[in-house]
């Protein structure tokens, strides 16, 4: 996939554009509505007019182009492209600043393929066909395999595309291209909602440094409508959707700044909670979903991600967020309203614990789904020190930490809604699991916990960032917490920009891999928030400063989904992973959380 340089978004419409702010038939580039590409190619040829400057916003970009002769600009084009919830408007102001009439050539190339986002990312259709796009001039129509009709219509004002433009001396011409996208599945598209920031968040915004301002702006950009209310989508361009784990962690980071995001997230995930057992989608009663999509491949089952439950941790995170939301806002009514949801989620977690007391998932490949179901969900993320991959039913360390925290959270919620049923039992289970985490995962030789253990209890003996999430979950003793935090600051883990997700001494370490040595801002945010929980403020500040300085060194002052785990060197910025999302919700939300102070 070609690296896109610019992302635009307006509710459920988004664009991935190259450095010239154009779409070409390369990788993910294009303009999409609900994960369907409604423009696969859109680019101008301005002939001799060179781009002098451009500026990119959340839903628009501006370019100024000029043609120079004899030390003066003779012709200029000021272009403003604005993404809309159901298409775009591309406005050009062409000015002849010369004293003589001019004729210039403006050529526009456009095309539409209505490909699914998964195809743009490189997956091929396996179980469904592809209907040809019907074309009638600038009107394009496509019928998906399930009968959904998608359309793109272009309209031109001020000129026919491809004609030479005659413009008199001193004259200004206004040219407009309007694109209208539609889908019979979704109907009319509304504008994106705004974030309802709290008063403390607005005060923080007023005094925020540029890096923090961009983080707040990224959350605003990622807002979208949903049946349950305003929601933060995960990231552009790969994940313009709701993801269980990502949305829950994002919502937790935003509890002090925008608690209504958590309320919507909790309601939306409750509405899509598992009700039956399905091996292909990994659905189970009470389980919280991992990924929610409605693109063609997802709707038809060609990929399992329409409503996909391949996550071992979202159910525990759901219970933690519910308790922390109630603690932060005092809104016990939501806990009562969604009691069946959080009780079902903790019930699924308890049911999935094996005879050894650990919550495990199977690495058996099912359909086109995920092999690993923890946050490091790439197929090669769980390994032993010799580099071989772990198989079978795995227990991943941070999942156990989330569960221990969730058991305690469920006890708190039981008491909050008035019944108190099972509260004592839940707290006892939480205490026993905290002890079990130490006995099953701690590795003296590594100086922290193993990333996972297999069916036989054998540790995946690699140093990783995963034990840092035990700090966030609050399930370690004071001495263990200090040991884990200090171990993550050693040179094999600390890059100067942030904590690597895998030690550079590990056999599978690759600095520009997805989960084998890169730096993930949300991972670092959870480590820093956890260090703060244990009073390890020097370590927390070091991690937060690394994240802020990373953002300051990157284009647009924006933290991406992940970047390379290279050691920091003077004159070298962080190297962004080629297929990253930017903006990414939990990366931005981590910096918003930092701006708001201590965790809730």
pLDDT of 105 = 86
Distance CA(105)–CA(46), nearest Å, equals: 7
With tokens 């190297």, the residue in question is: 575
Looking at the chain, the whole-number percentage of residues with pLDDT higher than 90 is 91
| pLDDT band of 1, cuts 50, 70, 90 | very low
**Are 522 and 249 spatial neighbours (Cβ–Cβ below 8 Å)?**
yes
| pLDDT band of 2, cuts 50, 70, 90 | very low
Q: Identify each DSSP E strand in 112-194 by its residue range.
A: 134-136, 139-143, 149-157, 164-167, 172-183
Q: How many residues does the chain have?
A: 600
Residue 391: alpha-carbon gap to chain centroid: 27
Q: Give 37's contacts (C-beta < 8 A, 6+ positions apart).
A: 30, 31, 112, 113, 114, 115, 116, 117, 120
Beta bridge partners of residue 67, listed in sequence order: 75
116-150 pLDDT tens trace: 999 999 999 999 999 999 999 999 999 999 999 99
Q: Which pTM value belongs to this model?
A: 0.96
Distance CA(23)–CA(441), nearest Å, equals: 48
Token pair for residue 534? 């244990």
| pLDDT band of 508, cuts 50, 70, 90 | very high
Rounded mean pLDDT, 319-335? 97
Count other C-beta atoms under 10 Å from residue 72's C-beta. Answer: 9
pLDDT of 208 = 94
CATH number belonging to the domain at 199-596, selected among 3.90.1300.10, 1.50.10.10, 3.10.20.30, 3.40.50.1950: 1.50.10.10
Residue 437: alpha-carbon gap to chain centroid: 29
Helix, strand or coil, per DSSP, at residue 552: helix
User: Which H or E element spans position 591?
Assistant: helix 585-596
What CA–CA distances, in Å, run from 568 to 48, 290, 498, 561?
41, 34, 9, 18
Rounded mean pLDDT, 461-490? 98
Distance CA(73)–CA(52), nearest Å, equals: 11
User: Which H or E element spans position 347?
Assistant: helix 339-351
pLDDT of 186 = 93
pLDDT of 525 = 98
Rounded mean pLDDT, 88-93? 97
- Mark out the alpha helices in 165-232 (DSSP H runs): 199-207, 210-221
Helix/strand/coil (H/E/C) assignment for every residue in 106-134: CEEEEECCCCEHHHHCCCCCCCCCCCCCE
pLDDT of 598 = 57
Distance CA(10)–CA(81), nearest Å, equals: 13
Lowest mean pLDDT among 2-6, 113-117, 129-133, 569-573: 2-6
Looking at the chain, the whole-number percentage of residues with pLDDT higher than 70 is 98
With tokens 């305003």, the residue in question is: 230
Q: Give 136's contacts (C-beta < 8 A, 6+ positions apart).
A: none
Rounded mean pLDDT, 69-73? 89
Instruction: Show me where the domains of the chain are located.
Output: 6-183, 199-596
Give the CA-trace dihedral at 292, 502, 400, 251, to 10 degrees. Answer: -40
Helix/strand/coil (H/E/C) assignment for every residue in 58-125: CCEEEEEEEEEECCEEEEEEEEEEEEECCEEEEEEEEEECCCCCEEEECEEEEECCCCEHHHHCCCCC
Distance CA(397)–CA(466), nearest Å, equals: 7
Residue 159: alpha-carbon gap to chain centroid: 40
| pLDDT band of 366, cuts 50, 70, 90 | confident
**Are 13 and 58 spatial neighbours (Cβ–Cβ below 8 Å)?**
no
Token pair for residue 35? 């994960």
CATH number belonging to the domain at 6-183, selected among 3.40.50.970, 3.90.700.10, 3.40.50.300, 2.70.98.40: 2.70.98.40
Q: Identify each DSSP E strand in 229-373 by its residue range.
A: 231-232, 242-243, 291-292, 307-308, 361-362
Q: How far apart are the first and last CA of the chain?
A: 39
pLDDT of 600 = 45
Count other C-beta atoms under 10 Å from residue 594's C-beta. Answer: 24
pLDDT of 545 = 98
* Averaged confidence pLDDT in the chain: 95
For the purposes of burial, counting CB atoms within 10 Å of the CB of 330, is it exposed (0-12), middle (13-18) or buried (19 or more)?
exposed
pLDDT of 130 = 95
Q: Identify each DSSP E strand in 201-358 by its residue range.
A: 223-224, 231-232, 242-243, 291-292, 307-308
Distance CA(223)–CA(181), nearest Å, equals: 20
206-263 pLDDT tens trace: 999 999 999 999 999 999 999 999 999 999 999 999 999 999 999 999 999 999 999 9
Using the predicted structure, report yes or no on whether residue 3 has a pLDDT greater than 70. no
Rounded mean pLDDT, 302-316? 97
pLDDT of 597 = 78
Rounded mean pLDDT, 408-427? 93
pLDDT of 365 = 87
pLDDT of 599 = 47
Using the predicted structure, report yes or no on whether residue 5 has a pLDDT greater than 70. yes
Count other C-beta atoms under 10 Å from residue 125's C-beta. Answer: 17
Cis peptide before 596 (omega within 30 of 0): no
pLDDT of 161 = 66
**Are 346 and 424 spatial neighbours (Cβ–Cβ below 8 Å)?**
no
Beta bridge partners of residue 17, listed in sequence order: 6
Distance CA(600)–CA(598), nearest Å, equals: 7
Using the predicted structure, report yes or no on whether residue 592 has a pLDDT greater than 60. yes
Distance CA(400)–CA(187), nearest Å, equals: 43
């Amino acid at each position: 996939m070609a690296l896109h340089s610019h992302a635009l978004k307006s509710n459920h419409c988004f664009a991935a554009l190259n450095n010239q702010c154009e779409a070409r038939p390369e990788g993910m580039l294009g303009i999409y509505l609900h994960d369907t590409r409604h423009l696969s190619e859109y680019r101008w040829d301005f002939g001799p007019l060179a781009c002098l400057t451009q500026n990119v916003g959340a839903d628009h970009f501006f370019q100024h182009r000029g043609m120079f002769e004899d030390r003066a600009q003779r012709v200029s084009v000021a272009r403003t492209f604005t993404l809309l919830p159901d298409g775009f408007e591309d406005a050009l102001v062409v000015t002849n600043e010369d004293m003589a009439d001019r004729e210039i050539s403006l050529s526009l190339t456009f095309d539409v393929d209505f490909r699914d986002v998964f195809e743009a990312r490189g997956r091929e259709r396996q179980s469904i066909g592809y209907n040809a796009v019907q074309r009638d001039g600038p009107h394009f129509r496509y019928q998906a395999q399930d009968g959904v009709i998608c359309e793109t219509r272009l309209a031109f004002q001020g000129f026919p595309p491809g004609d030479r433009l005659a413009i008199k001396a001193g004259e200004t011409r206004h040219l407009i291209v309007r694109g209208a996208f539609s889908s019979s599945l979704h109907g009319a598209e509304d504008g994106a909602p705004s974030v309802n920031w709290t008063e403390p968040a607005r005060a923080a915004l007023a005094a925020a440094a540029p890096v923090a301002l961009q983080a707040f702006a990224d959350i605003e950009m990622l807002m979208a409508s949903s049946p349950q209310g305003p929601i933060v989508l995960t990231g552009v361009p790969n994940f313009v959707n709701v993801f269980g784990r990502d949305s829950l962690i994002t919502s937790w980071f935003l509890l002090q700044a925008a608690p209504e995001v958590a309320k919507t997230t909790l309601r939306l995930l409750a509405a899509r909670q598992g009700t039956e057992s399905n091996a292909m989608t990994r659905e189970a009663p009470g389980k919280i979903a991992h990924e929610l999509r409605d693109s063609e491949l997802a709707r038809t089952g060609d990929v399992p991600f329409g409503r996909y439950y391949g996550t071992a941790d979202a159910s525990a995170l759901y219970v933690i967020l519910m308790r922390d939301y109630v603690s932060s806002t005092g809104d016990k009514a939501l806990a009562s309203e969604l009691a069946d949801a959080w009780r079902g989620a903790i019930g699924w977690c308890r049911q999935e614990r094996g005879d050894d007391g650990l919550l495990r998932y199977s690495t058996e490949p099912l359909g086109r789904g995920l092999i690993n179901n923890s946050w490091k969900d790439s197929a090669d993320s769980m390994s032993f020190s010799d580099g071989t991959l772990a198989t079978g039913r795995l227990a991943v360390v941070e999942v156990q930490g989330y569960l221990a925290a969730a058991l305690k959270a469920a006890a708190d919620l039981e008491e909050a809604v008035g019944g108190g049923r099972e509260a004592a039992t839940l707290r006892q289970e939480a205490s026993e699991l905290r002890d079990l985490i130490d006995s099953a995962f701690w590795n003296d030789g590594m100086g922290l916990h193993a990333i996972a253990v297999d069916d036989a209890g054998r540790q995946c003996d690699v140093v990783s960032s995963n034990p840092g999430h035990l700090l966030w979950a609050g399930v370690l003793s004071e001495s263990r917490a200090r040991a884990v935090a200090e171990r993550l600051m050693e040179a094999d883990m600390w890059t100067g920009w942030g904590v690597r997700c895998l030690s550079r001494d590990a056999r599978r370490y690759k600095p520009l891999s997805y989960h084998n040595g890169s730096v993930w801002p949300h991972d670092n945010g959870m480590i820093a928030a956890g260090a703060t929980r244990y009073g390890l403020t020097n370590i927390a500040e070091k991690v937060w400063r690394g994240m802020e300085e990373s953002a300051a060194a990157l284009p647009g002052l924006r933290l991406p989904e992940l970047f390379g785990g290279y050691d920091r060197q003077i004159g070298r910025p962080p190297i962004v992973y080629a297929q990253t999302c930017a903006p990414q919700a939990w990366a931005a939300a981590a910096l918003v959380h930092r701006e708001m102070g201590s965790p809730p």
